[in-house]
Amino acid sequence: MSSHPTHIALDGVAMAFGTRPVFRHLSCRFPPGAISVILGGSGSGKSTILRMIGGLVRPQAGRILVDGDDVTRCSKRQLYDVRRRLGMLFQGGALLDSMTVFDNLAFPLRERSRLDAAAISRTVHEKLEAVGLHDVDRLLPRQLSGGMAKRVGLARALIGSPAVLLCDEPFSGLDPISSRRIEALLVRMNRTLGMTMLVVSHDVESTRRMADHVVLIEGGGAVEGPFATLRDSGTPYVRTFLSDEVDETLVDEAQQALAR
């Protein structure tokens, strides 16, 4: 991992898919060394933020800074340099299905490092241990449960000891126990390694427990701050999203729809 925590900031980002605008003027920052959780409704563009930071999609306007490097203006080669500081856990794990778990983790090391086979094997097993997995290295991704695939994906994201971990919906599709296990893993890694973490989530409860900083996407922009501050804010949408309050208007609308 790099010696200093990495700063990430988005400045005036505008993004549209075809004619559908996702962000009009999105500006937010992600404090170094902290767990930032990105919340928002379905289709609000939470995952797109991670993909923009990783340079997988380019916004139409604005800047995305990773330690001062504007990824929107990086060439392909420069992007690969920036990505060496980033690790990403994809929603479905994104494991290479033709390779075993061991090879999935060893592959980036074989490609990018000069480590010998013994060192690669040691590193792979260390990372698998770190995410609480044993005796899975010979399995293929299709032989893993959803929770195990997420943890293997997490181990692979950590294999290059990145300074920043981007997690896209790490709790989706998991039972409560697996979900809490992944949450505990992320918190432990953040506290022990001081890693900057950006977590996209729908889960307000886990956000309350783990987030140092919350970015809530709303109306093509964002509001941000500590969880408690946002929950007590004067904006009804933000307050409703983060609290246990039930929006009576939505309940009425649902009842009317059912009655029809």
Partner 1 sequence: MTDAIRTLGFLAVRAAADLGSAAAFFADVARCMVSPPLRLRSVIDETWKLGVLSLIVICVCGLTVGMVLGLQGYNTLVRFGATESLGAVVGLSLVRELGPVLTALLATGRAGSATAAEIGSMVASEQLDGLRMMSIDPLDVVVMPKAVAMVLVMPLLSALFIACGVFGGWLVGVRLLGVDGGAYLTSLETSVDFRDDVMSSLIKAVVFGVLVGWVATYRGYTSAPNAAGVSAATTSTVVVGSVAILVFDYFITALWGVTS
Interface with partner 1 by CB under 8 A: which residues? 51, 54-56, 76, 80-81, 83-84, 86-88, 90-92, 94-97, 107-108, 111-112, 156, 160
Select 111 or 116, whichever has its Cβ closest to partner 1.
111
Residue closer to partner 1, measured from CB, 77 or 134: 77
Length of the chain: 260
The backbone torsions φ and ψ at residue 174, rounded to the nearest 5 degrees and listed phi first, read -110, 150
Residue 186 or 242 with smaller CB distance to partner 1: 186
Comparing CB distances to partner 1, the nearer of 145 and 243 is 145
Residue 92 CA to residue 89 CA, distance in Å, equals 8
Tell me if 14 sits within 8 A of 59, measured CB to CB: yes
CB nearer to partner 1: pick between 56 and 139? 56
Compute the distance between CA of residue 107 and CA of residue 112 in angstroms, rounded to an integer.
9
Which tokens sit at 27?
A: 């500006």
Distance CA 128, CA 131 (A): 5
Smallest gap from Cβ 120 to partner 1, in A, equals: 14
Order of strands across the sheet that contains 221-225? 86-89, 164-168, 196-200, 35-39, 213-218, 221-225
CB of 117 to partner 1, least distance (A): 15
Comparing CB distances to partner 1, the nearer of 161 and 233 is 161
Query: Is 85 or 231 the residue whose CB approaches partner 1 more closely?
Result: 85
In whole angstroms, the minimum distance from the beta carbon of 23 to partner 1 comes to: 20
Q: Would you give the DSSP letter of residue 86?
A: E
Smallest separation (angstroms) from partner 1 to the CB of 75: 13
- How many CB atoms sit inside 10 A of residue 74's CB? 18
Least distance in angstroms from the C-beta of 236 to partner 1: 35
Q: How far is the CB of 184 from partner 1 (least distance, A)?
A: 24
Exposed/middle/buried for 218, CB within 10 Å: 0-12, 13-18, 19+?
middle
- Do 1 and 84 meet the contact criterion of CB atoms below 8 Å apart? no
Question: Nearest approach, Cβ of 99 to partner 1 (angstroms)?
Answer: 10
Report which residue type is found at 97. D
